[in-house]
Structure 1
Amino acid sequence: MNAEVEDQIRKKVPWTKLPTHVKQILNNSWKNYERFIVNFSIQNQLRYRGNLVRHVLKDEKRYYERVISFSRERLMLFPYHLADMIVKGLRITPFNYYISVVERLMQAEKSYDTLPNFTAADCLRLLGIGRNEYIDLINKSRTNRGRLFGKKNVRVLLPKVPVNIHIEPWWRVEVGLILDEDTKMVNEEELAVIDKLIDLGSKNAGDLPFNIVLSLYKKGLIYLDVPVTAVDKVQVPPLQGFVMNRILGDYFETLLYKIFVSIDEHTTVGELATVLEVDTELVKQAVSLYCRLQFAKKFDAETEQDRVRRHPSWSNVPIANESPPIEITPLTLNFPSTTNPPLEGLDTPQLSTDSPTHSPHIQPTGLRVAFLFDSALTAFLMMGNLSPGLKRHAVTMFEVGKLQHESLDSFLGELEKVSAMDADGEGEARRFFDHAVILRSTILALRKLPGPGLDLVRLESLNSLDEATCQRLLKKKYRLLIAMAPIGREVRISPLSSMPPALLGPSHPEINSLWFRMFLYYVTGFGPPSLLLAKGSEIKRLPRMFLGFSRLLVTSWLHEPAIIPISNILYVNAALQFAPVLVQGYGVQHPVETKLLTFPFKTISPASKNGRPSPEAAQFLTKHPAIGALFELLDLDHSCGYLTFANVGVLDFGRPEGEGMQVRLKGASKTVAKQPTGIANENFQFEKKAIIVDDRILQSPVESHFAVTPVDGSSHRSSPTNGFTSQDCTTLLQQELDQLDIKDNKKLEHQVPSVDQLLSPTEENIGIFSRIEDEKSEETKDKSQQNDESTRNWTILDCHFGIPLFDADANTKICDAIVSGGLAEDDSLDHLINSSKKLGTMLLDFISQCQYFPGENMEIMKRGKLVPLPRRCLVFDNGRVSEWSGK
Structure 2
Amino acid sequence: MSSEIEEQIRKKVPWAKLPTSVKKVLSNSSKEYAKYIISFSIKNQLRYRGNLVRHVLKDEKHYYERVVAYSKERLMLFPYHLADMIVKGLRITPFNYYISVVERLMQAEKSYDTLPNFTAADCLRLLGIGRNEYIDLMNQSRSNRGRLFGRKNVHVLLPKVPVNIHIEPWWRIEAGLILEEDMKMVNEEERTVIDKLIDLGSQNAGDLNYNVVVSLYKKGLVYLDVPITAVDRVQVPPLQGFVMNRILGDYFETLLYKIFVSIDEQTTVAELATVLEVDTELVKQAVSLYCRLHFAKKLDPESDQEKARRHPSWLNVSTNTDSPQADITPLTLTLTSTDHALATPSTPTTDSPTHSTNQSNSTGLRVAFLFDSALTAFLMMGNLSPGLKRHAVTMFEVGKLQHESLDSFLCELEKVSAMDADGEGEARRFFDHAVILRSTIMALRKLDGPGLDLVRLESLNSLDEAACQRLLKRKYRVLIAMAPIGREVRISSFAAGAPPPLLGPIHPEVNSLWFRLFLYHMTGYGPPSLLLAKGTELRRLPRMFLGFSRLLVTSWLHEPAVVPVANFLYVNAALQFAPVLIQGFGVHEPAETKLLPFPFKSQDSVKNNRSNSDTESVLKRHPAVTILTDLLDLNHTCGYLTFANVGVLDFGRAEGESAEIRLKGAPKPRPGASKTTQSANSISNENFRFEKEEENRLQSPVESHFALTPVDGGSHRSSPTNGFTSQDCTTLLQEELDQLAIQEKQKQALEQLQSPLDENVGIFSRIQEELDSQQKKKSR
Q: TM-score, normalised by structure 2?
A: 0.78
**What corresponds to 1:166 in structure 2?**
166
Contact 1:592–1:646 under 8 Å retained in 2? no
**What corresponds to 2:677 in structure 1?**
none
Match of 1:575 among 574, 577, 590: 577
Which segment drifts farther, 584-593 or 452-461? 584-593
**SS of residue paired to 1:494:** coil
Q: What's the offset of the Cα at 1:420?
A: 2.3
Which segment drifts farther, 468-477 or 361-370? 361-370
Q: Which has the higher contact order (CA 8 A, sep 6+)?
A: 1
Task: Give the Cα separation in 2 of the matches to 1:135 and 1:259.
Answer: 32
Deviation by residue 1:165-209 (Cα, 9 ceiling, x = unmatched) = 000011010000000000011000100100000010001101111
**What corresponds to 1:313 in structure 2?**
313
Q: What's the offset of the Cα at 1:655?
A: 6.4
Contact 1:89–1:177 under 8 Å retained in 2? yes
**What corresponds to 2:42 in structure 1?**
42
Task: Give the Cα separation in 1 of the matches to 2:606 and 2:422.
Answer: 26
Contact 2:666–2:694 under 8 Å retained in 1? no
> How many residue pairs align between the two structures?
662
Q: What's the offset of the Cα at 1:2?
A: 2.1
Contact 1:239–1:393 under 8 Å retained in 2? yes
1:665 aligns with 2:676: no
Contact 2:665–2:694 under 8 Å retained in 1? no
**What corresponds to 2:389 in structure 1?**
391
Match of 1:488 among 475, 486, 489: 486
Task: Give the Cα separation in 2 of the matches to 1:637 and 1:118.
Answer: 47
- The structure-2 alpha-carbon separation of the partners of 1:278 and 1:656, relative to structure 1 and needing over 3 Å to count, comes to farther
**What corresponds to 1:252 in structure 2?**
252
1:104 aligns with 2:128: no
Q: What's the offset of the Cα at 1:652?
A: 5.9
Contact 1:490–1:559 under 8 Å retained in 2? no
* Structure-to-structure mapping, 1:436-515, within 5 angstroms: 436-498=434-496, 499-508=498-507, 510-511=509-510, 513-515=512-514
Contact 2:599–2:637 under 8 Å retained in 1? yes
Q: What's the offset of the Cα at 1:522?
A: 4.7
**What corresponds to 2:85 in structure 1?**
85
Task: Give the Cα separation in 1 of the matches to 2:387 and 2:304.
Answer: 34
Task: Give the Cα separation in 2 of the matches to 1:5 and 1:148.
Answer: 49
Task: Give the Cα separation in 1 of the matches to 2:28 and 2:532.
Answer: 48
**What corresponds to 1:356 in structure 2?**
329
Which segment drifts farther, 183-192 or 564-573? 564-573
Percent identical pairs in the alignment equals 69
**SS of residue paired to 1:231:** coil
Contact 2:665–2:692 under 8 Å retained in 1? no
**SS of residue paired to 2:290:** helix
* Structure-to-structure mapping, 1:45-444, within 5 angstroms: 45-148=45-148, 151-320=151-320, 322-323=321-322, 351-352=324-325, 354-358=327-331, 363-444=361-442
Q: Which runs of 5+ in 2 are unaligned?
A: 336-359, 669-680, 713-780
- The structure-2 alpha-carbon separation of the partners of 1:273 and 1:354, relative to structure 1 and needing over 3 Å to count, comes to closer
- The structure-2 alpha-carbon separation of the partners of 1:692 and 1:287, relative to structure 1 and needing over 3 Å to count, comes to closer
Task: Give the Cα separation in 2 of the matches to 1:297 and 1:213.
Answer: 21
1:621 aligns with 2:611: no
Task: Give the Cα separation in 2 of the matches to 1:14 and 1:311.
Answer: 50
- The structure-2 alpha-carbon separation of the partners of 1:45 and 1:365, relative to structure 1 and needing over 3 Å to count, comes to same
Contact 1:606–1:613 under 8 Å retained in 2? no
Match of 1:674 among 678, 685, 696: 685
**SS of residue paired to 2:595:** strand
Contact 2:269–2:284 under 8 Å retained in 1? yes
Deviation by residue 1:768-819 (Cα, 9 ceiling, x = unmatched) = xxxxxxxxxxxxxxxxxxxxxxxxxxxxxxxxxxxxxxxxxxxxxxxxxxxx
Task: Give the Cα separation in 2 of the matches to 1:395 and 1:690.
Answer: 49
Task: Give the Cα separation in 2 of the matches to 1:427 and 1:273.
Answer: 46
- The structure-2 alpha-carbon separation of the partners of 1:213 and 1:690, relative to structure 1 and needing over 3 Å to count, comes to closer
Task: Give the Cα separation in 1 of the matches to 2:690 and 2:426.
Answer: 52
Task: Give the Cα separation in 1 of the matches to 2:473 and 2:555.
Answer: 35
Contact 1:606–1:614 under 8 Å retained in 2? no
**SS of residue paired to 1:249:** coil
In the alignment, residue 126 of structure 1 is paired with which amino acid? L
- The structure-2 alpha-carbon separation of the partners of 1:18 and 1:516, relative to structure 1 and needing over 3 Å to count, comes to farther
- The structure-2 alpha-carbon separation of the partners of 1:180 and 1:455, relative to structure 1 and needing over 3 Å to count, comes to same
**What corresponds to 2:778 in structure 1?**
none
Q: What's the offset of the Cα at 1:566?
A: 5.3
Which segment drifts farther, 210-219 or 57-66? 57-66
* Structure-to-structure mapping, 1:563-712, within 5 angstroms: 567=569, 571=573, 574-575=576-577, 581=579, 583-587=581-585, 593=591, 594-602=593-601, 613=611, 620-646=618-644, 651=650, 653-654=652-653, 657-667=656-666, 669=668, 671=682, 673-675=684-686, 695-696=695-696
**SS of residue paired to 2:12:** coil
- The structure-2 alpha-carbon separation of the partners of 1:98 and 1:691, relative to structure 1 and needing over 3 Å to count, comes to closer
Task: Give the Cα separation in 1 of the matches to 2:569 and 2:417.
Answer: 43
- The structure-2 alpha-carbon separation of the partners of 1:533 and 1:672, relative to structure 1 and needing over 3 Å to count, comes to farther
In the alignment, residue 460 of structure 1 is paired with which amino acid? E
In the alignment, residue 660 of structure 2 is paired with which amino acid? M
Q: What's the offset of the Cα at 1:656?
A: 5.5
Q: What's the offset of the Cα at 1:654?
A: 2.8
Q: What's the offset of the Cα at 1:698?
A: 8.7
Q: TM-score, normalised by structure 1?
A: 0.69
Deviation by residue 1:654-676 (Cα, 9 ceiling, x = unmatched) = 36625252332320646455215
**SS of residue paired to 2:493:** helix
Deviation by residue 1:413-461 (Cα, 9 ceiling, x = unmatched) = 1222222223332222222222222222221111111110000111111
Contact 2:256–2:286 under 8 Å retained in 1? yes
Q: What's the offset of the Cα at 1:220?
A: 0.4
Q: What's the offset of the Cα at 1:590?
A: 5.9
In the alignment, residue 228 of structure 2 is paired with which amino acid? V
Task: Give the Cα separation in 1 of the matches to 2:383 and 2:460.
Answer: 27
In the alignment, residue 217 of structure 1 is paired with which amino acid? Y
Cα RMSD between the aligned structures? 3.3
Contact 1:161–1:218 under 8 Å retained in 2? yes
* Structure-to-structure mapping, 1:1-12, within 5 angstroms: 1-12=1-12
Q: Which runs of 5+ in 1 are unaligned?
A: 325-350, 677-685, 712-887
Deviation by residue 1:802-846 (Cα, 9 ceiling, x = unmatched) = xxxxxxxxxxxxxxxxxxxxxxxxxxxxxxxxxxxxxxxxxxxxx
**What corresponds to 2:727 in structure 1?**
none
- The structure-2 alpha-carbon separation of the partners of 1:538 and 1:193, relative to structure 1 and needing over 3 Å to count, comes to same
Contact 2:574–2:580 under 8 Å retained in 1? no
In the alignment, residue 469 of structure 1 is paired with which amino acid? A
Contact 2:663–2:690 under 8 Å retained in 1? no
Deviation by residue 1:459-504 (Cα, 9 ceiling, x = unmatched) = 1111111111111111110011111122221222222242221111
Task: Give the Cα separation in 2 of the matches to 1:649 and 1:135.
Answer: 57
In the alignment, residue 94 of structure 2 is paired with which amino acid? P
Contact 2:664–2:692 under 8 Å retained in 1? no
Deviation by residue 1:382-404 (Cα, 9 ceiling, x = unmatched) = 22222211111111111111110
**SS of residue paired to 1:495:** coil
**What corresponds to 1:762 in structure 2?**
none
- The structure-2 alpha-carbon separation of the partners of 1:692 and 1:388, relative to structure 1 and needing over 3 Å to count, comes to closer
- The structure-2 alpha-carbon separation of the partners of 1:703 and 1:18, relative to structure 1 and needing over 3 Å to count, comes to closer
Task: Give the Cα separation in 2 of the matches to 1:223 and 1:142.
Answer: 34
